[in-house]
Amino acid sequence: MEIISGFSKLSKKQKLAWLAAQIAERQSDTNQQEFIADFESYQHRDPKVQKLYDEFSENTLTNFYMPYGLVPNVLMNGKLYAIPLVIEESSVVAAAAGSAKFWLERGGFKAEVIDTKKVGQVHFLWEGDFKKIDVLFDELRELMLDNTALITANMRARGGGILDISLVNMTEVEPNYYQIKATFETCESMGANFINTCLEEFARTLKDWAANSEHFVGREKEPLVVMSILSNYTPECLVRAWVECPVNELGYFEEMPPEMFAYKFSKAIMIAKNDPHRATTHNKGIFNGIDALTLATGNDFRAIEACGHTYASRNGKYQSLTDCSIENGVFKFWIEIPMAVGTVGGLTSLHPLVKKSFEILGNPSVKELMELMAVIGLAQNFGALKSLTTTGIQKGHMKMHLLNILKHFEATENEVKQAVEHFKNNVVSFRSVRDLLDLVRIEQPIA
Amino acid sequence: MEIISGFSKLSKKQKLAWLAAQIAERQSDTNQQEFIADFESYQHRDPKVQKLYDEFSENTLTNFYMPYGLVPNVLMNGKLYAIPLVIEESSVVAAAAGSAKFWLERGGFKAEVIDTKKVGQVHFLWEGDFKKIDVLFDELRELMLDNTALITANMRARGGGILDISLVNMTEVEPNYYQIKATFETCESMGANFINTCLEEFARTLKDWAANSEHFVGREKEPLVVMSILSNYTPECLVRAWVECPVNELGYFEEMPPEMFAYKFSKAIMIAKNDPHRATTHNKGIFNGIDALTLATGNDFRAIEACGHTYASRNGKYQSLTDCSIENGVFKFWIEIPMAVGTVGGLTSLHPLVKKSFEILGNPSVKELMELMAVIGLAQNFGALKSLTTTGIQKGHMKMHLLNILKHFEATENEVKQAVEHFKNNVVSFRSVRDLLDLVRIEQPIA
């Protein structure tokens, strides 16, 4: 690769041409026209639609395809949903669909939003006596509210806005370190831009106020704002979802009686509560479902992941986000997870397939979406634990894996049939499938 | 929505038709043909290519487009890369490109892999005396190695395989609870299937061995395997990346001298070390870059996220994954993060654009990919902290936000120009942009 200046200013065609030339420089057998055509084959046929996608991000070359799938039959709080999931991993949609069907016959999922508070912070250094600024803080808070009144007008009209502004003394952590910590209600939006705009205004207000306050002298007049930024950790923007049924209605899993299944399931949860090695994988499975719905609804899965995992470590040890109980013959399984999402703003009104997702979900409110997120995470976790504690996951996975490898080798229908039969009792690997296909292709196909 | 049986057995056309009919039931003004056509417009023009994508997951309806962008000028260990990123969030690619350019002029990024060990566990309950099984464990280990010899043959030929198998006494956590904990080297693959297949074989071996051992009697002969599964937490599959330069070479940021920038930057890191609220958002930004490269290379971002966040909480408190120092006039900034990825297996050889990503990256080894992952995370974090500690992030964000809203209202070039000018001193919101456009569109454009 060579250094290039002004890459972002090039047209998409020029960017691709530069890249193709760079690749050709390295691999002389590169057909540059083909390289470019391959990328262009992923463009939307309508240039206006394509332009939309190009402008979501920067230096865009084309669209990366992610499978957009559907999980029908999800019963939540007595209402039936079909849930769109965007996920590149096999088995996730199938597992969610399996869990949805299982619980459909047992009363469905229940869910409720516990709270919807968002958090933001202005971090600053200030050399002075804490008591002095603490006493004056009511004055500063009023000023902050006044100075953001214009910014918050629309949000207040919708029932949201700034809930609280407080001063936090962090000098035990670091000399002179303080925070202005604020909580927000952002209604139907995720609220990042709203919160950050408020916070940057708080920071300006703080500096002006300190500079002009008659109570301060010298360095007291010069707080140093390190940064003003929302927190993605929102433990008070919290949702709970659960399922329950009598143990004996859980049914048989192959030859495993329901009591044994419930017992093993509860031990799997116990392990994920106590062993961070297991908890990581346990929660990873939960996010398989949540991230897929997050993508489908144009929300930000990095924010939701970071928040959920910090929440999982809140007791000083990284733990499972789900829990279960078996009491008086009743099996109960639940999740409690912070979930800062939006149904307006950001990509939600811009990405055409995100708009379709909302249509499929019946244009849910933000609370309903939070609940659906928790439900799909719980469904996913139930599916994973059900497989793990009964047949093991490799049976299903290796079947998918085998089909993927066969696809790679462009196996015919007949070859697929023979391979599936063969690998019922043999270990699937890239090489073993290739070897089998070599064999099958040299001999005559049996049927 | 209605309950549907056998949805997965329907063809894609039938699935879409069912969905369209369901939506029409709810919204009588739905044009079902248009609804279906919208979904179909995202299909690849080549049915063979489309079939590939359809089979990555289940119940697929179409492709969800994610912007595929490029970050040029990334200098790592003396070699120049262009890094493909798949990300729906604006500003991420631009920030990475900005950091890449900044460090290109200051020696570039350095990175090294510290270790590449993966982990798997068989969790089981066993009623007996720990000393008894502990003494016999060497025998069981040998048997496990023998019974997996066929499964591990190819991996061993490539220099990998099972590194170690140990017995872990977990009875302090729960009576009768033990683990077989194994470590693996999976070479160029992420190794999930390989590890899980080995573990399920370990579990079978454990059960057979216990049942047939002359040393055991009664319940000792019946260990209950709860589950056998890899751990996504791989603290020994670790990579480090860093940048450094003399403080005075950091240059001016608008009017901020380099010493002040380095000082504020180091305070931002201190805050992310000490406050989980900030650490969450700090690390979220790191994963903006890492997840985007993860997607572009067909790896699993849920696994990488879960692992990284558990690692961030390993000291009993959720903390920043990056760190910095200013010593002897030298600014140094680094990341240390576990990173279990693969360059073969899974989607890597199946997803056409993933193959292109590897071509663009110069077909890196798995260690090189781990290093690139750490570098893009570090670059992203540098960009975020640079914005936050200098101009604040809203300036850039609100510009992008404004352009997105203008796009939504199909603003003309002229209207865009006027809006950008207007919002230099006014608060951007959906409503304020709409109001301005209403005004501009009633009056004559100024030209």
Whole-angstrom CA distances from A370 to A101, A182, A405, A411 are 21, 22, 37, 43
Burial class (CB in 10 A: 0-12, 13-18, 19+), B45: exposed
CB of A151 within 8 Å of a chain B CB? The answer is: yes
- The per-residue pLDDT for range B282-291, each reduced to its tens digit, is 999 999 999 9
Is pLDDT above 60 for A143? Answer: yes
Does the active-site annotation cover B300? yes
| Maximal CA-CA distance, chain B | 96
Chain B residues in contact with A89 by the CB 8 A cut-off are 56-57, 300, 302
CA B363 – CA B183 distance, rounded (Å): 27
Show which residues of A are catalytic: 89, 284, 300, 397
CA A221 – CA A228 distance, rounded (Å): 19
- Name the pLDDT band for A396 (thresholds 50, 70, 90): low
Is pLDDT above 60 for A106? Answer: yes
- Name the pLDDT band for A446 (thresholds 50, 70, 90): very low
- The closest of B358, B380, B335 to B84, measured between CA atoms, is B358
* Two tokens, residue B170: 């977990």
CA B185 – CA B199 distance, rounded (Å): 14
- The per-residue pLDDT for range B11-70, each reduced to its tens digit, is 999 999 999 999 999 999 999 999 999 999 999 999 999 999 999 999 999 999 999 999
Q: What is the percent of chain B where pLDDT is above 70?
A: 98
CB of B168 within 8 Å of a chain A CB? The answer is: no
Which of B75-84, B338-347, B371-380, B417-426 has the lowest average pLDDT? B417-426
CB of B400 within 8 Å of a chain A CB? The answer is: no
Q: What is the pLDDT averaged over residues A82-88?
A: 98
CB of A129 within 8 Å of a chain B CB? The answer is: no
Catalytic residue among B207, B273, B284, B417: B284
- The per-residue pLDDT for range A237-286, each reduced to its tens digit, is 999 999 999 999 999 988 899 999 999 999 999 999 999 999 999 999 99
A89 to B57: CB separation less than 8 angstroms, yes or no: yes
Chain A residues in contact with B389 by the CB 8 A cut-off are 226-227
- The closest of A123, A264, A242 to B267, measured between CA atoms, is A123
CA A237 – CA A338 distance, rounded (Å): 5
Which of A229, A283, A348 is the best residue to mutate to test the B interface, defined by the most B CB atoms within 10 Å of its own CB? A229
Which chain A residue's Cα is nearest to B89?
A: A57
Is pLDDT above 90 for B442? Answer: no
How much is the pLDDT for B44?
97
Instruction: Kindly provide the ipTM of the predicted complex, given to two decimals.
Output: 0.91
Does the active-site annotation cover B89? yes
How much is the pLDDT for A443?
59
Which of B277, B291, B294 is the best residue to mutate to test the A interface, defined by the most A CB atoms within 10 Å of its own CB? B277
Catalytic residue among B181, B207, B355, B397: B397
CB of B332 within 8 Å of a chain A CB? The answer is: no
- The closest of A333, A318, A338, A340 to A378, measured between CA atoms, is A333
Tell me the average pLDDT of chain A: 94
Q: Write out residues 404-443 of A within 8 Å (CB-CB) of B.
A: 404, 407-408, 427-431
Q: What is the pLDDT averaged over residues B169-183?
A: 98
CA A83 – CA A290 distance, rounded (Å): 11
How much is the pLDDT for B396?
66
Q: What is the pTM of this model?
A: 0.91
How much is the pLDDT for A445?
45
